[in-house]
């Protein structure tokens, strides 16, 4: 079946450090890949997405590239800020007759210290 594996957290970095959160997936066919972010006490917000191999999603300085050969979608940011502290979820989505079933990784809690 479909599954998503993220690097375990928590991850603690200093402000302006480089960030990588690893995400690998197992899926049949060609899923879409997503990164969602959840700030404390809030719901999930879409951070970025990629719908086909070699696509790069980007938003707010974050990037992730859909790598079919390594089945990965690692999240990166060159210089993190305190405001990036949140839980990050990698997910894959399979569209089936109008539905979009998301399969999530377990989430990675990120804390950025000033």
Q: Give CA angle at 33 (20, 23), nearest 5°.
A: 30
- DSSP single-letter state for residue 72: B
Neighbours of 66 (CB within 10 A): 21
CA 111 to chain CA centroid, Å, is 16
Task: List the one residue from 89, 110, 111, 114 that touches other proteins (CB under 8 A).
Answer: 89
Interaction mask 25-54, other proteins, x per CB under 8 A? -------x---x-----xxxxx--x-x---
CB of 114 to other proteins, least distance (A): 27
Question: Which residues sit at the interface with other proteins, rule CB under 8 A?
Answer: 4, 32, 36, 42-46, 49, 51, 89, 91, 93, 95, 97-107
């Amino acid at each position: 079946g479909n599954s998503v594996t993220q690097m375990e957290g928590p991850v603690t970095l200093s402000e302006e450090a480089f960030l990588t959160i690893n995400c690998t997936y197992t899926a049949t066919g060609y899923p879409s890949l997503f990164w969602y972010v959840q700030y404390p006490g809030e719901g999930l917000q879409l951070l970025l997405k990629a719908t086909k191999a070699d696509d790069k999603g980007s938003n707010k300085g974050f990037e992730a590239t859909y790598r079919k050969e390594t089945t990965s979608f690692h999240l990166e940011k060159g210089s993190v800020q305190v405001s990036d502290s949140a839980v990050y979820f990698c997910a894959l989505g399979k569209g089936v007759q109008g539905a979009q079933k998301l399969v999530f990784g377990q989430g990675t809690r990120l804390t950025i210290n000033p």
